[in-house]
Chains A and B, each alone.
Chain A
Amino acid sequence: MIGLRDSLTLARTKFYARPVLLVLTLAVCGVLFGALYAGVNMASGAIASARAFALAASNGKYLVKVNPFIPPEVLTIVGSSNAPSAALQARLKALQADFIAEHKALAKQLGTTFDEKSVPEPLVNNPYANPTLPADQRVTINPNAPAAYAYVSELQVDYAKTAKNGYDQLQALAKSYGATGFYENTTASVGFDTMQFLPGGKEDVVNLSNSRSPAGDAYFGAAFLSSVQNSEYTFVSSDLVGGYVLPENDRRRANDHGVPVIITAAEAVKIFGTQYNIPSEPIAPKARIAWLKDMQDKLNGITYTSCYRNHADLNQLQQIKQTAQEMADHKNDANYVKPQVIYGLPTTACGDRVVVEDHRTAAVRAAEQHEADLQVKLGAVEMPQRQLVTFTVVGVMPVQRQDEMYKSIPAFLAGILSANYDEGAIIPRQLYDKLPAANRYGDILTRSYDSTKGAQAMRAAGLGEHIVAFSTAQQARKFIGEQTCDFADFNCKKLFTGTAYATNYLLFDDIQVLVTKVLGIALPIALGIAGLVVGFMMARIMIDNRRETAVFRAIGAKRRDIVSIYLMYTGMIALGIVLAGLGLGWLVAGGLQAWFGGDITAYARVAYGVYGSHQVFSLIGGQVMLQCQIAAGIVAICLVAVSLPLVRNVRRNPIDDMRDE
């Protein structure tokens, strides 16, 4: 067969045969594959960059938030229109009797009496039941009865004894998937109903209420704007959020007594903007970095206070307001008898009520105090409690507002590119643990309000929320897919529920799958079009060159020599398409990178909180192997496209083609 170099020499002459057609073919196919290459480049670049940013944001870990799946009936008594079984009714009655006996004994020990009628019955009449049924079939469970709590507690104790989804089991299971770290994830015990942020350290006692509403809008994600105001704090391991903790400064050292907290940038503007001269978030991505750094400089180490008041204390304040109103209403009523003791609202931030008037005798006062103490000891009422809690800002996190994700395409992209460590302000666990016990406000922030035996047993068995760290996204995805259900799946048949935590790294996988699917459709279409275009052009060229082929045959060319020349020509066309496509693809990707890369990088740095790094968000992905595969596809389709006209061409009788002249 003719040598490669000679094939090349003869194939090259065909470039001059139909230059317009050739340029058109290269242009059409070049644009086609240019778009494809650009898409591949940018998609892979963006995904890889987003992954790298996400990884940096989560300190090199792929995190999964895992909860044991506990059947709902173990956690609470679910109301039902059907009467409980006879056995359950008997058990509830027995638990009720135990509760009363226990409290009677305690009252006796304290030298008082216990009114058993004050204890809610565990079985109450079901108003919706069929009146013709026997009496024991017309009852339902009162979930607020102590016996109902005790029954649930028993269930939980039993569940905890045999649970296979405790912390130990989670560790063993996750390690088999390559898990490298485990972290407890707990929400602080307080909330908007018991603790309130004090702007400027001042408490608005006049508007205090025992039935507060959360600050901000009620939509999902509002916590990013109001977590401090709503006292929604989450303890997160410093290992995970260490990147957001700012370096210590003099102010921090001076204020190191406060509970360390990382707040969101959006809320920081809202609650500290005026005081610290922090402007609203700028739109330009590059300006956002400067804005964020300025904010961090201004807020690092500042303190703020919140006031914790338990429900008993809030009830007292509410009672004061009601009494004051009542007295005002009866101001001119001569028959109205004022209370023996009149209290006033606190005069200091987070202070106790003040006594305005007290007409009680010392004996009455002592008796009332004794009775109150007894009620507390019996567990019938809660002791009023209040505490001023000081927080020290140690970080400002640029969290993207999830609620705005679906409002526009940029907002959606912004929502994807973000780090999210649960709703609420974050207390870095290890920093918190370093505080002296008196400054931790442990009985407010970390105490367990559920002190039943069941809850204790569940905690002891490690049946709480944990964060599991993996070193690859694949490991995390596999673990989530195989061992966990969605959090909202109440019919879960697995031991755990789980989801990606901190960043949307799994979304990148989904996007990649989507891109692969799109490519899987677009590539064959593009190849098909290219095949048609190239096939048409080659057929045209061959028709034009029939005489030349006949002459070559006459002067000694074998059929395979002709095939070789045309294959070489086709190869050059394919190479031209590949180069045009690659060039255009890289040009588009490079152009967009040059045009938008800086902004996207700035945006990503802010979104992921890696603004201190030199990490760049690139729209140029490389994906050399994939690009080579596309190139191979182009070459292959060109060769396929040329094969039919080529076979027909070499089978022609050269004499016919010379005679046609």
Chain B
Amino acid sequence: MPAEQQQVEEFLKLFEGNAEAAILAIKQRQASLANARSANQRQFANKEVIISAHDVVKVHRRGKQQVEALRGVSLEVHKGEFLALTGASGSGKSTLLQLLGGLDKPTSGSIVAYGADINGLKDAQLAEFRNRTVGFVFQFFYLQPFLQLQQNLEVPGMFAHTERDGRAAAAKELIARVGLDAEHDRLPKELSGGQIQRAAIARALLNGPKILLADEPTGNLDSVNSKGIIDLFQQVRTELGMTVVIVTHNPEIAAVADREITLADGRVRS
């Protein structure tokens, strides 16, 4: 079910089938969000640029075929902002997110993250960057299925060589922060989708990253859990002052973002 239709149905339910009231409420909400975003955009316009992409082109090879995922994308991510990357499937938004997070290097163009050109970083340096500066959240959560929640959260700390007791305490605190303290010794299969994604967000936060990159984090959740995850992102952003970049189809997320960049056919449309 498309997100917009889902939203309409939720509002219809809220106003007990009164379509006019529901539409009015939706419009009011959208106006309110637009105002807020506008205010936020103004607020972040002068903020420090932490990641900038300049004329980024990314070509994927699929067998003998070459797929141009990004065709000259330029953008800036400001410190502390909540940026939504939207667009149709195959528009290149996930690829852009992965490049911004240092998971891959652009075919051409440059990405400068925190003053360092991604192209110039060696593999180990990129890993270090992903481990300490960036926190990744995925659509399918990707927790290790045979590790308890607490151990799952500690995995990024293992790669960061964080002292065992310190990272255990940090993981415990994050579990509590995402409301899963009662589930710390559970395996992922024993948790709901929403709980797993909360845990995945907590994992992304373990090494205290400066930026959180999420690839369709609510894409695999129902509306209630999606709402909870959106709230959690906002909470993270507010309480930790963290920059959040989310790839999403979810208008709810796009609506709460400070800025929305829409990609189409590998280019920035708006």
Contacts from A to B (Cβ < 8 Å)? 2-3, 5-6, 9-10, 13, 16, 547-548, 551-561, 653-655, 658, 661
Residue of A nearest to B94 (CB): A659
- The answer to whether A2 and B158 touch (CB under 8 A), given A13-B146, A556-B130, A556-B132, is yes
Contacts from B to A (Cβ < 8 Å)? 95, 98, 101, 103-104, 123-124, 127-128, 130-132, 135-136, 138, 140, 142, 144-147, 151, 155-156, 158-161, 164, 203-204, 207
In the complex the two chains form, what is the Cα distance from A6 to B138 in whole Å? 23
CB distance A552 to B159 under 8 Å? yes
Give the residue of A3, A548, A556, A557 whose beta carbon is less than 8 angstroms from that of B207.
A556
Residue of B nearest to A15 (CB): B146
Residue of B nearest to A565 (CB): B158
- The answer to whether A653 and B130 touch (CB under 8 A), given A558-B124, A661-B140, is no
- The answer to whether A556 and B161 touch (CB under 8 A), given A9-B151, A655-B98, is no
CB distance B147 to A557 under 8 Å? no
In the complex the two chains form, what is the Cα distance from A560 to B122 in whole Å? 13
CB distance B136 to A555 under 8 Å? yes
Give the residue of B127, B144, B145 whose beta carbon is less than 8 angstroms from that of A556.
B127
A2, A5, A658: residue with the most chain B Cβ atoms closer than 10 Å: A658
CB distance A555 to B124 under 8 Å? no
In the complex the two chains form, what is the Cα distance from A654 to B99 in whole Å? 12
Return chain B residues, CB-CB under 8 Å to A552.
155, 159
Return chain A residues, CB-CB under 8 Å to B207.
556
The distance from the CB of B189 to the nearest CB of chain A, in whole angstroms, is 11
In the complex the two chains form, what is the Cα distance from A558 to B126 in whole Å? 9
The distance from the CB of B231 to the nearest CB of chain A, in whole angstroms, is 23
A16, A548, A554: residue with the most chain B Cβ atoms closer than 10 Å: A554
Give the residue of B98, B131, B151, B164 whose beta carbon is less than 8 angstroms from that of A555.
B131
CB distance A559 to B131 under 8 Å? no
- The answer to whether A555 and B156 touch (CB under 8 A), given A13-B144, A13-B146, is yes
Residue of B nearest to A9 (CB): B151
Return chain A residues, CB-CB under 8 Å to B130.
553-556
Return chain B residues, CB-CB under 8 Å to A3.
158, 161
Residue of B nearest to A554 (CB): B136
CB distance A2 to B159 under 8 Å? yes
The distance from the CB of A541 to the nearest CB of chain B, in whole angstroms, is 13
Residue of A nearest to B98 (CB): A655
In the complex the two chains form, what is the Cα distance from A655 to B98 in whole Å? 8
In the complex the two chains form, what is the Cα distance from A382 to B128 in whole Å? 111
The distance from the CB of A661 to the nearest CB of chain B, in whole angstroms, is 6
CB distance A658 to B159 under 8 Å? no
CB distance B160 to A551 under 8 Å? no
Residue of A nearest to B161 (CB): A3
In the complex the two chains form, what is the Cα distance from A658 to B60 in whole Å? 14
A6, A547, A661: residue with the most chain B Cβ atoms closer than 10 Å: A6
Return chain A residues, CB-CB under 8 Å to B95.
655
Q: List 16 A-B contacts (CB under 8 A).
A: A2-B158, A3-B158, A6-B158, A13-B147, A551-B142, A554-B101, A554-B103, A554-B130, A554-B138, A555-B131, A555-B155, A555-B156, A556-B128, A556-B130, A556-B156, A661-B140
In the complex the two chains form, what is the Cα distance from A41 to B204 in whole Å? 53
In the complex the two chains form, what is the Cα distance from A658 to B104 in whole Å? 12
Return chain A residues, CB-CB under 8 Å to B146.
13, 16
Which label, helix, strand, loop or mixed, suits the secondary structure of the A interface? helix
Return chain B residues, CB-CB under 8 Å to A661.
140
Return chain B residues, CB-CB under 8 Å to A658.
138
Return chain B residues, CB-CB under 8 Å to A551.
138, 142
Return chain B residues, CB-CB under 8 Å to A554.
101, 103, 130, 136, 138
Residue of B nearest to A13 (CB): B146
In the complex the two chains form, what is the Cα distance from A281 to B138 in whole Å? 83
In the complex the two chains form, what is the Cα distance from A67 to B242 in whole Å? 98
- Beyond A547-B142, A559-B123, 13 extra complex contacts between A and B, CB < 8 Å: A2-B158, A9-B147, A10-B155, A13-B144, A13-B146, A554-B103, A555-B155, A555-B203, A556-B160, A559-B124, A560-B124, A561-B127, A654-B103
The distance from the CB of B97 to the nearest CB of chain A, in whole angstroms, is 10
CB distance B142 to A561 under 8 Å? no
Return chain A residues, CB-CB under 8 Å to B103.
553-554, 654-655
Residue of A nearest to B157 (CB): A6
The distance from the CB of A194 to the nearest CB of chain B, in whole angstroms, is 90
The distance from the CB of A128 to the nearest CB of chain B, in whole angstroms, is 94
Return chain B residues, CB-CB under 8 Å to A547.
142
CB distance A561 to B140 under 8 Å? no
CB distance B204 to A555 under 8 Å? yes
Return chain A residues, CB-CB under 8 Å to B151.
9
Residue of B nearest to A557 (CB): B159
Residue of A nearest to B123 (CB): A559
Residue of B nearest to A658 (CB): B138
In the complex the two chains form, what is the Cα distance from A661 to B140 in whole Å? 9
In the complex the two chains form, what is the Cα distance from A252 to B140 in whole Å? 96
In the complex the two chains form, what is the Cα distance from A194 to B138 in whole Å? 106
- The answer to whether A655 and B104 touch (CB under 8 A), given A555-B156, A555-B203, is yes
Residue of A nearest to B132 (CB): A556
CB distance B104 to A555 under 8 Å? no
The distance from the CB of A6 to the nearest CB of chain B, in whole angstroms, is 4
Residue of B nearest to A656 (CB): B60
Residue of A nearest to B213 (CB): A554
In the complex the two chains form, what is the Cα distance from A556 to B101 in whole Å? 11
CB distance A555 to B159 under 8 Å? yes
CB distance B104 to A553 under 8 Å? no
Return chain B residues, CB-CB under 8 Å to A13.
144-147
In the complex the two chains form, what is the Cα distance from A560 to B127 in whole Å? 11
Residue of B nearest to A559 (CB): B123
Return chain A residues, CB-CB under 8 Å to B144.
10, 13, 548
CB distance B159 to A561 under 8 Å? yes
CB distance A556 to B159 under 8 Å? yes
Return chain B residues, CB-CB under 8 Å to A548.
142, 144
In the complex the two chains form, what is the Cα distance from A653 to B104 in whole Å? 8
CB distance A558 to B160 under 8 Å? no
A10, A556, A560: residue with the most chain B Cβ atoms closer than 10 Å: A556
The distance from the CB of A558 to the nearest CB of chain B, in whole angstroms, is 4
In the complex the two chains form, what is the Cα distance from A557 to B144 in whole Å? 14
In the complex the two chains form, what is the Cα distance from A658 to B123 in whole Å? 18
In the complex the two chains form, what is the Cα distance from A551 to B131 in whole Å? 11
CB distance B142 to A553 under 8 Å? no
CB distance B127 to A558 under 8 Å? yes
In the complex the two chains form, what is the Cα distance from A77 to B10 in whole Å? 127
The distance from the CB of B119 to the nearest CB of chain A, in whole angstroms, is 16
CB distance B131 to A556 under 8 Å? yes
In the complex the two chains form, what is the Cα distance from A119 to B116 in whole Å? 122
In the complex the two chains form, what is the Cα distance from A554 to B204 in whole Å? 10
In the complex the two chains form, what is the Cα distance from A560 to B95 in whole Å? 25
In the complex the two chains form, what is the Cα distance from A183 to B33 in whole Å? 114
Return chain A residues, CB-CB under 8 Å to B135.
555
The distance from the CB of B197 to the nearest CB of chain A, in whole angstroms, is 14
The distance from the CB of B156 to the nearest CB of chain A, in whole angstroms, is 5
Residue of A nearest to B164 (CB): A5
In the complex the two chains form, what is the Cα distance from A332 to B130 in whole Å? 134
In the complex the two chains form, what is the Cα distance from A392 to B138 in whole Å? 99
The distance from the CB of A573 to the nearest CB of chain B, in whole angstroms, is 16
The 4 closest A-B pairs by CB, nearest first: A556-B131, A6-B158, A13-B146, A551-B142
Residue of B nearest to A547 (CB): B142
Return chain B residues, CB-CB under 8 Å to A560.
124
The distance from the CB of A659 to the nearest CB of chain B, in whole angstroms, is 8
Return chain B residues, CB-CB under 8 Å to A557.
127, 131, 159
Return chain A residues, CB-CB under 8 Å to B124.
558-560
The distance from the CB of B107 to the nearest CB of chain A, in whole angstroms, is 13
In the complex the two chains form, what is the Cα distance from A13 to B143 in whole Å? 12
Return chain B residues, CB-CB under 8 Å to A654.
103
Return chain A residues, CB-CB under 8 Å to B132.
556
